Amino acid sequence: MSLHFALKVNGHSIYHAMDITRLDHTDKPDPDATYRYRARACTADGTNPATQYDVTIEHRYGDGAWELIRKALNAMLNGDQAAADA
């Protein structure tokens, strides 16, 4: 599963793009199982250098996409960098 989207507030982009991909591949995800996800985003407001975010989070599949997005944004906000520093 992958989510791809642009985030905007009041018509202004706060992230150029964001994508979230499940790292644990399975044909039919179990709603009660917890999987690892990689979330990547890039800021691009045109006035400052772009900032790259790359975090790995755990998420219970049955909690849904909105909860997954919330966790990803919180991890980025808290500076839980993963592969971006590698």
User: Model confidence over 37-82: pLDDT tens digits?
Assistant: 999 988 766 666 778 889 999 999 999 999 999 999 899 888 876 5
Single-letter residue type at 2: S
How many structural domains are present in the chain?
A: 1
Where in the sequence is the domain holding 12, given as residue range(s)?
2-85
- Tell me the residue ranges of DSSP E strands in the chain: 2-9, 12-22, 34-42, 52-60
Confidence (pTM)? 0.75
Residue from 30, 31, 54 nearest 41 by CA: 54
